[in-house]
A and B are shown apart, each in its own frame.
Chain A
């Protein structure tokens, strides 16, 4: 049973729109990371938050942004959606050296 919950599980957006994906981590997990997994690929690191501050970022443009809240929840926001943003977005949280992944949000951009 995973301690990381993501919502929604699926959604469809139109190119140019904005989207917010949500993640609820386990209590005490003050580190949260977001990954993008395109079809047939391994996950790619988007960014990481520690105690509500971004402390690491992968090779993603600024239109990918995030927030982390004191209640161990977090958000991934993507502006100006492009077709290539269609992917499974995974949230992972940690209280130390191991990450627990959620089941992901499948985003389709049409």
Chain B
């Protein structure tokens, strides 16, 4: 069965510092991969997604992620963190089912990002 592991429950960085959030997945085929961000009490906002092609994916708010098949990883990066980036970040894998393009998302448990001034 597919699974997603986010090894870091909580990360604290200083504003302006670089950021890398780790994500490892288990999936039998080429995965659809996603990063979402959730502010307190809010829904999920899509940061970026990987379906195929270039393994370095650019997203919104200056985020990028790199798909590494050999390491089953899809780590999220940002060169310079802003205070407004403080939130919870979820990595997810899209599990195709029933043929066609139907898929369900399997999420990791999330990484809480705190940004110090």
Contact = CB atoms under 8 A, between A and B. Distances in A.
Is A bound to B? yes
A1 to B, nearest CB: 11
Given A55-B98, A56-B97, A43 B104 contact: no
Given A43-B105, A45-B105, A45-B106, A90 B46 contact: no
Interface stretch (A64-72, A73-81, A96-104): A96-104
Interface in B64-117: 90, 92, 97-98, 101-102, 104-110
B46 A98 contact: yes
B107 A101 contact: no
B42 interface: yes
Contact of A101 (B4, B43, B51, B108): B43
Contacts of B49: 97-98
A102 B43 contact: yes
B45 interface: yes
Interface residues of B, number: 24
Given A97-B51, A104-B42, A104-B43, A48 B104 contact: yes
Contact of B110 (A42, A48, A50, A102): A42
B105 A99 contact: yes
B44 interface: yes
A58 B104 contact: yes
B98 A101 contact: no
A31 interface: yes
Contacts of B4: 42
Interface of A: 2, 4, 6, 31, 33, 35, 40-45, 48, 50, 55-56, 58, 90, 92, 96-104, 106
